[in-house]
Structure 1
Amino acid sequence: MSQHATEETVADLWAECPEEARQAAERVVGSPANWQLMRRGSHGTAKWHVSGPGTQQVVVKAGTGQAADVVAREITALAYMQAAGITATGYGNDAQGLTGLTSDYTAWLVRPWLTGLTTWSAFQAVRDGHHPDVTDYKRALTAAVDLCTAVGGLHQHGWVHGDLQPHHSVHMANTRTVQLLGCTWAWAPELAPSPAYTGGLVHLLSPELAAAAESPTRPVITSKSADVYALAASLWWSATGDWPLNYRAAAIDPTAHTAAGLRRMIAARRLKISTTSTWPQLTELLREVLTADAVQRPTAFQLAQSLRRLM
């Protein structure tokens, strides 16, 4: 466990990790196992990085009660995508389980620990601004192209991710493949959207998805076009370290508003796209995507091709 977790937190979180999940993880990593609490998820899920004397490491995610619904939805989405042959979400064999039959049931998921840079990390040298060189820009652009290509492949199979973020995409070491994490809200014709979905990280939401999330209609149905907006917003954030939405110009402190309040502002188009001096070639290309109407946005594959031209 993380040394930063309090004893009370550790006890509470251990209670949410079923014995079956602990055993499944430790069968892979060996014993004694080191359990490091990574974070408490926004929907109440708990997540651990587990290592041991073996060569493999895993991630364990668990949730109890309402949080179990979130983990169970991810289990279902991953199973459907694996059956569809989607490689961008098909990393490794996994163990997963659903226990209990009441409102207190627990769901758990064990997945391989992935080795590689996230998109966010691939942009670090550019974002930090400490005299990045040609290699730094090439690394960032390659990551951007590969991420867009992975999302394009997902879309080609008829799936929408629904919560793309630069911290949730891992660029596998020594390959040009990307694994997309955070697939809880993914949907396709064979798996209906979740009624609990509200659009993902609010700062990366397209105006039309923000409007759908704030409407009374459920489920909220996102689209491939909204995924492309989130792609462009994620790359902007990765390159600049700031949200693409210009909260400052609108005299808005985003931390002082609820997600629902920010979604209403985005839906009403009260927030313009920021201006920046960081990497003008890239940010101007992304601005075109972020300001386009949904029907005029490029596909993920088209965005990848536009990014290649900057290399």
Structure 2
Amino acid sequence: MPGSYPELPIVVLDALMPTAQRLVVNRRGSTVWDVESQRGRYAVKVGHPIEATADLPAQPWTALAPAREGGVLHRLGMDDVAYGEWGRGTWNLQPWREGSDLYQLWEPCRKKDSPVEPHIRVALGCVGALAELHAMGWAHGDVQPAHFIIGPERTHLIDLALARGGHVPEEYDFPFRGCLVHYEAPEVARSVLGTGEAEPTPEADIYALGASLLISATGWRAIEYPDDAPRPAQRRAVASGKRRPVRAAGKLGDLIDTMLSPAPGDRPTIQEVRGALC
């Protein structure tokens, strides 16, 4: 394996016969490629296990995540998807989604003294994408700004490796152990701290959507903790449910406040969120 990241697996090269390829993400446990071919343009995800370090335990689930996501996408009715195994883990390929993510798109809103306010139509696009998933009986489990791709025609909700709501291939399944803590609901944080696992729910997705809208619009996390705090300390802060006093502008700010309610039952449903924005 040359370099510091895996190359595209041979089986993917054979399937797509790329005319161009570009490494988009290279992080611990996975790489993502933008691949152009005669078949079209695809996102290709390649997973491998994260080795243990002095500070962090090993995370073998990252090797299974691409194939698990491929199984979820098949269950959701997406045909132009493939997934399988390679020497160190699994991979999937799926149609490329063109556009800017939520955090990128709202960058002008975060500039000091900016007169630009978050556009409600953008927020509605994110709400609509999550509403489609909830309507099919699934919870995403990993809602965050980078996973909303606002395209020219519609908004796509991507990265469904942690989603729950239906059968996925057993050989690629793994327990849900939380997500990026900035967007983790208090009940999820408490469960992960207490048992090491949790269950994604629509209510937790609503909290994560509220936290995503807040940080994209203002640059501030919903919960205050030091940037370099260990993961358990971050989760304890989230589990407390204590919000920092930050608001987005206008009616969006009022709505986000209710979405970030510490009690799941006090949060609006995705349909109620859409109704409030409309």
Q: TM-score, normalised by structure 1?
A: 0.76
Match of 1:46 in 2: 31
How many angstroms does 1:243 deviate by? 0.8
> CA 1:222–1:55 in 2, change beyond 3 Å: closer, same or farther?
closer
Hey, what's the Cα distance between the residues in 2 that align with 1:149 and 1:210? Answer: 26
Contact 1:24 1:110 in 2 (8 A): no
Contact 1:145 1:304 in 2 (8 A): yes
How many angstroms does 1:58 deviate by? 2.3
Q: C-alpha deviations, 1:194-251, integer Å up to 9, x for none?
A: 5442221101111111111112264x21211000000111000110012122x2xxxx
Contact 1:163 1:200 in 2 (8 A): yes
Contact 1:150 1:178 in 2 (8 A): yes
Out of 61, 80, 84, which is 1:93 matched to?
80
Match of 1:6 in 2: none
How many angstroms does 1:123 deviate by? 1.8
1:222 and 2:191 matched: no
Out of 88, 91, 108, which is 1:125 matched to?
108
Hey, what's the Cα distance between the residues in 2 that align with 1:284 and 1:98? Answer: 46
Out of 212, 230, 251, which is 1:258 matched to?
230
Match of 1:115 in 2: 98
Hey, what's the Cα distance between the residues in 2 that align with 1:189 and 1:69? Answer: 17
Gaps of 5+ in 2: 50-59
1:106 and 2:85 matched: no
- Of structures 1 and 2, the larger Rg is shown by 1
> CA 1:145–1:208 in 2, change beyond 3 Å: closer, same or farther?
same
Match of 1:273 in 2: 244
Hey, what's the Cα distance between the residues in 1 that align with 2:63 and 2:166? Answer: 23
Match of 1:59 in 2: 43
> CA 1:128–1:23 in 2, change beyond 3 Å: closer, same or farther?
farther
Q: Please tell me the residue identity of whatever aligns with 2:90.
A: A
Contact 2:73 2:81 in 1 (8 A): no
> CA 1:41–1:261 in 2, change beyond 3 Å: closer, same or farther?
same
Contact 2:185 2:238 in 1 (8 A): yes
Out of 154, 159, 162, which is 1:182 matched to?
159
Q: Which moved more, 1:194-203 or 1:298-307?
A: 194-203
Q: Secondary structure at the match of 1:254?
A: coil
Out of 56, 67, 75, which is 2:70 matched to?
75
> CA 1:267–1:186 in 2, change beyond 3 Å: closer, same or farther?
same
How many angstroms does 1:264 deviate by? 2.0
Match of 1:156 in 2: 135
Match of 1:286 in 2: 256
Aligned residues, how many? 265
Q: Please tell me the residue identity of whatever aligns with 1:97.
A: G
Match of 2:55 in 1: none
Match of 2:220 in 1: 242
How many angstroms does 1:68 deviate by? 2.0
Contact 1:148 1:300 in 2 (8 A): yes
How many angstroms does 1:154 deviate by? 1.1
Q: Please tell me the residue identity of whatever aligns with 1:272.
A: R
Hey, what's the Cα distance between the residues in 2 that align with 1:197 and 1:185? Answer: 7
Gaps of 5+ in 1: 1-8, 83-89
Q: Which has the higher helix share?
A: 1
Hey, what's the Cα distance between the residues in 2 that align with 1:209 and 1:187? Answer: 14
Q: Which moved more, 1:105-114 or 1:229-238?
A: 105-114
How many angstroms does 1:164 deviate by? 0.5
Hey, what's the Cα distance between the residues in 1 that align with 2:133 and 2:39? Answer: 30
Q: C-alpha deviations, 1:21-46, integer Å up to 9, x for none?
A: 12333x3x42xx2x33222234x112
Q: Please tell me the residue identity of whatever aligns with 2:109.
A: V
Give RMSD over aligned pairs: 2.6
Q: TM-score, normalised by structure 2?
A: 0.84
Hey, what's the Cα distance between the residues in 1 that align with 2:147 and 2:121? Answer: 17
Q: Secondary structure at the match of 1:11?
A: coil
Q: Please tell me the residue identity of whatever aligns with 1:304.
A: R
Q: C-alpha deviations, 1:278-304, integer Å up to 9, x for none?
A: 524322321122135211211112112
Match of 2:11 in 1: 20
